[in-house]
Structure 1
């Protein structure tokens, strides 16, 4: 007679075993699917260690969002020099020097680009020694994709974006720094000497200081110096170099006796406005990511700048019984300069303090201190960029909020950074000017200066 199967019989066991096999196969297939998904970048399958120097990473490690923001920020920072600074400076000089002053910003952009690509970037942003980088990226060697296209080069400082983006972003900083100092010797330098000076200064002064502060192995970085976007590297550096240039070239003919009316304050306002907008790329872009820190850097930049403008206006009302457009534009630049080193480390309250102090200090720097120093710093490069950079660097040490940037300020480190930049850039600029003058005289003749640099240097004029 047939036997009724009981639970747990042979056939039931075989069925259960078959279901178990199916579940195991399904699990394995799911694992394979996840692995494939990870391989094509749908999810991270392997954690890649952060590089300690420029190197190659899988293309899947690149952030599209960070890259898009950094491309935008780079364009904004270049906008600061051309046309921003070109218009800002051109509007403040006399009519006979407008074209030559604007041309200097354009020429600096081109000269520094070539210096940066050939060797400047390598010296600034490759690890070699505490003082200067190496030659791994000379002529941008090794930049780009691997032969199979699976990997792309990144900087160890910004590993979520292609290294080409980081190179270009930092190039815009290398451009605007010497472009700023041209305002100190406006209306009296020979164009060939200016080009040679800028090339040497970019290589021998800017690149080493950038390495000290922004390369993790640089000696000021190791001391704990905080400079989020260029208070020391850009502004103190350009400010003290500009002051030395003003001393070395001597005052303009008639300085202190004749009025030097600005050609167009409309140009200056347009230039200052472009600088303000571009500065968001300068500061927020220095987060090298599209994240909350970039957002805070943008916010505090706006707050500090507005506070500095109103402070400068109030001082003018107090001293002169009126506010001026030129003063307001100068106050805006002062606030932008001072918040730069602190922008990734302070909150809105700190930004208000920095803007207030910068407005007072830079007003004094462009008026009272300028008279004491006795240098014909034509467009107040030291008074605004030098003094503003010092104020910003020191206040970063006092006001850095760990909740914003995860860092505490260190006044000893910040003071060290300020002094080191002043000494190295000041002495180095003086030496370079001496050498350049041996090859190509720095100053135009008295006749050429009287005619104006537009005609004497470029055979052009504004009708």
Structure 2
């Protein structure tokens, strides 16, 4: 009875999966899921000892909330039109009800003696349910990244409510706009086509925006949301008057190492196939990250006379962020250049919070927003097939700038609206609880028994 009431899917999305590609994407999905617990260690180590559990719980809470709603309506909002063949809503979202619950992805068709399953779009080599698994992990970590800006002062309950609403109203639409054929993709109805026209066949923008694995969708998105939230919620008590030192630097290094490991699923998995281009992405991810770490340490060495472990770990993350949108468009040498600049820019950018007075607790803005913007826009300079520094014109640079600015504006406005709506629910814990430590007041636990 249930199967009979499901929306009928078009014949062209049914097919037979390539087992090699499917295996690689399942492995990649597992690697990306590991990144959120890795982020919990990274952020937890950077926090003070009385706040480490809450910081880690904000990442784990994101897995719980976003993991559920992605299966219910998130995949449908982001990619449903690619499966159903239907139209989206103004190039911003797909129908959240067309694949609600994702049961429809289990439909099969029998052709001769073969049983065909629902694929991740016409011509895809992987099942739609595997593509859902992969994309679910991106949504989870995008939300978790924001939490680092809010350390030690935010109600855990409000954070969970925010996670569900922000994912629904900001992440899922932006994922559709960039990856699902929406207004920031190479769609003939998108911004790029409006600026530079369509290709000769008229079926895509003449100059396609490039965001291979999430520079706009994940990092600019999360970084901008973090900036808006810290401006609305306010600083920790004592910000600017006292030092907030990492309580466990080995946790920070462990988190960075696991993030780097998981990021190969993030970037190379986004090829959606086990092939040579995935290998190029792997190499570019490695060398850009190495260059960013060296760049960050060089800034510390020159500015502070001491290259630090926290600086090395932060440089790793900055490089991973920057190469994410660009990893399939650059050569290895171009990736080294992109990563090196990212490490320098983010190392310099983290000092802005004290100069400008916003409390981005764990440098989400300085690392994810700054390196995400550089990685997205830098494609216009360093892309081998279309970049300015490879002898091409300004069109790719202009397109990359437009999609970055569009993501900033969309995320900024939507996050501000959500944050203000949730104010009556209560963003801040009490001054007393903040002073005594959020772990004990919010979770009735402490990380370390120091009695």
TM-score range, shorter chain: 0.7 to 0.9
* Conserved? CA contact 2:226–2:365, under 8 Å: yes
Measured in 1, the distance between the counterparts of 2:15 and 2:342 equals 45
Q: What is the aligned counterpart of 1:417 among 380, 403, 409?
A: 403
Give RMSD over aligned pairs.
Answer: 1.9
Count how many residue pairs are aligned between Structure 1 and Structure 2.
405
Q: Who is 1:298 aligned against?
A: 282
Measured in 2, the distance between the counterparts of 1:54 and 1:122 equals 18
User: Match of 1:91, SS?
Assistant: helix
Q: What is the aligned counterpart of 2:415 among 429, 438, 460?
A: 429
User: Match of 1:152, SS?
Assistant: strand
Q: Aligned ranges for residues 89-104 of structure 1 at < 5 Å?
A: 89-104=43-58
User: Match of 1:252, SS?
Assistant: coil
Q: Give the superposition deviation at 1:399.
A: 1.4
Q: Who is 1:131 aligned against?
A: 92
Q: Give the superposition deviation at 1:114.
A: 1.1
Q: Give the superposition deviation at 1:53.
A: 7.7
Q: Who is 2:298 aligned against?
A: 314
- Alpha-carbon distance change, 325 to 89 in structure 1, aligned in 2, over 3 angstroms: same
* Conserved? CA contact 1:53–1:156, under 8 Å: no
Measured in 2, the distance between the counterparts of 1:54 and 1:114 equals 28
Measured in 2, the distance between the counterparts of 1:403 and 1:68 equals 32
Q: Who is 1:188 aligned against?
A: 153
User: Match of 1:253, SS?
Assistant: coil
* Conserved? CA contact 1:126–1:133, under 8 Å: yes
- Alpha-carbon distance change, 233 to 296 in structure 1, aligned in 2, over 3 angstroms: same
Q: Who is 1:167 aligned against?
A: 132
Measured in 2, the distance between the counterparts of 1:259 and 1:458 equals 25
Q: Who is 1:57 aligned against?
A: 14
Q: Who is 2:439 aligned against?
A: 454
* Conserved? CA contact 2:93–2:182, under 8 Å: no
User: Match of 2:118, SS?
Assistant: strand
Measured in 2, the distance between the counterparts of 1:342 and 1:195 equals 32
CA deviation profile, 1:58-80 (whole Å, cap 9, x unmatched): 33xx1011001101111000010
Measured in 1, the distance between the counterparts of 2:269 and 2:209 equals 19
1:205 equivalent to 2:170? Answer yes
Measured in 2, the distance between the counterparts of 1:150 and 1:179 equals 39
Q: Give the superposition deviation at 1:370.
A: 2.2
Measured in 2, the distance between the counterparts of 1:205 and 1:141 equals 24
Measured in 1, the distance between the counterparts of 2:427 and 2:180 equals 33
Whichever of the two has the greater Rg, that structure is 1
TM-score for the superposition, normalised by structure 1: 0.84
Q: What is the aligned counterpart of 2:267 among 277, 283, 286?
A: 283
Q: Who is 1:11 aligned against?
A: none
* Conserved? CA contact 1:300–1:346, under 8 Å: yes
* Conserved? CA contact 1:54–1:154, under 8 Å: no
* Conserved? CA contact 1:245–1:429, under 8 Å: yes
Q: Who is 1:385 aligned against?
A: 368
User: Match of 2:306, SS?
Assistant: coil
* Conserved? CA contact 2:45–2:246, under 8 Å: yes
- Alpha-carbon distance change, 256 to 217 in structure 1, aligned in 2, over 3 angstroms: closer
Measured in 2, the distance between the counterparts of 1:332 and 1:157 equals 37
Q: Who is 1:355 aligned against?
A: 339
TM-score for the superposition, normalised by structure 2: 0.87
- Alpha-carbon distance change, 105 to 53 in structure 1, aligned in 2, over 3 angstroms: farther
- Alpha-carbon distance change, 238 to 154 in structure 1, aligned in 2, over 3 angstroms: same
User: Match of 2:325, SS?
Assistant: coil
Q: Give the superposition deviation at 1:220.
A: 3.6
1:374 equivalent to 2:357? Answer yes
Q: Give the superposition deviation at 1:401.
A: 2.0
Q: Give the superposition deviation at 1:444.
A: 0.4
Q: Give the superposition deviation at 1:216.
A: 2.5
Measured in 1, the distance between the counterparts of 2:122 and 2:400 equals 21
Q: Give the superposition deviation at 1:106.
A: 0.7
1:78 equivalent to 2:63? Answer no
Q: Give the superposition deviation at 1:457.
A: 0.5
Runs of at least 4 residues of structure 1 off by over 4 A? 52-55
* Conserved? CA contact 2:15–2:119, under 8 Å: no
Unaligned runs of 5+ in 2: 1-8, 82-87, 193-207
* Conserved? CA contact 2:184–2:209, under 8 Å: no
1:262 equivalent to 2:262? Answer no
1:66 equivalent to 2:21? Answer yes
* Conserved? CA contact 1:215–1:221, under 8 Å: no
Q: Give the superposition deviation at 1:371.
A: 2.9
- Alpha-carbon distance change, 361 to 64 in structure 1, aligned in 2, over 3 angstroms: same
CA deviation profile, 1:272-320 (whole Å, cap 9, x unmatched): 0000010000000000000111100000000000001011111111001
